[in-house]
Chain A
Amino acid sequence: MNILRRALAAIMTAAAVAGALSFQKEPGVEKRTGGWKKISNFGNE
């Protein structure tokens, strides 16, 4: 039973990793990162 449980966990982990990698490798996926930046010099951005 324990072996079965471990095997299932391993398969699920592998599937999750594969899914994440395939999403990252998908061509043309645009990823936006960034954040809020304080404005200190108004009118001269």
Chain B
Amino acid sequence: MTDLAPPLGRRLRWTFTDGLTLVGRELGRLRHDPGELVAALIFPAVMVVLFGYVFGSAIQVPDGGDYREYLMPGLFAMVTFAAVMGVMTRMAADASRGVMDRFRSMPMARLAVPFGQTGADLLTGLLMLAIMVGAGLLVGWQPHRGLIPTAQAFLLMVVLRYALSWVGVYVGLAVKNDQVADAMVPLFLPFTMLSNAFVPTDGMPGWLRFLADWNPVSALTAAARELFGNPGAPSGNLAWPLAHPVTAVLLWSAALLVIFVPLSLRAYTRGGR
């Protein structure tokens, strides 16, 4: 490209300020649509009650701990994974309603849209996580290993969430159609449940157990259990990601970013070309 581009410094500043404007857009949407906030509040409550009390009454934790203590790291991982669906539907809605074309035809920074969208998701994700933590504390979950490991656990969730949100950017740009994107949202449930988030993977048939053990949701859940000192630390002959969950989460995050950031940026700038 021999575009008469403005100097790099200004381009970076625009990318940043345009990204911030788009973060502000998402916050503005939340303010105008408190329904989304209410749904965000109800979801954790429903999950905690449904799994903590309904299913949990019949599930034995391997090392005999409290099921709700076992469950909460899984729910944190589930909330983290929701980034894919959230960002995907937002990108697809903008693409199918022409908003993306408007962005592309404006003299705004090219990278601001995907960076703004993932940045905004990080903020809403923190909010969701905070609500989920509140719900957990209410039903008797707590971290047991002190401040630093607890902070590390939440940091891992944030890192993986950010990486997952780029998967959402790419898939949303690829489907380009909000109805298709909405139809894909229910896949969220089997994907998160095919893991160690709710039950140990030992009892699953071999091939299913393999998928569950290598699911990034499982790595994050295992890492969080370890760092919070919650029950359910797996033992015996373990798949690699469950034996080294913290490293696995970091590797997963790095791999997702390395693959999906370039793919997404390419999909965004090339658009409907």
Our verdict on whether A and B bind, yes or no, reads no
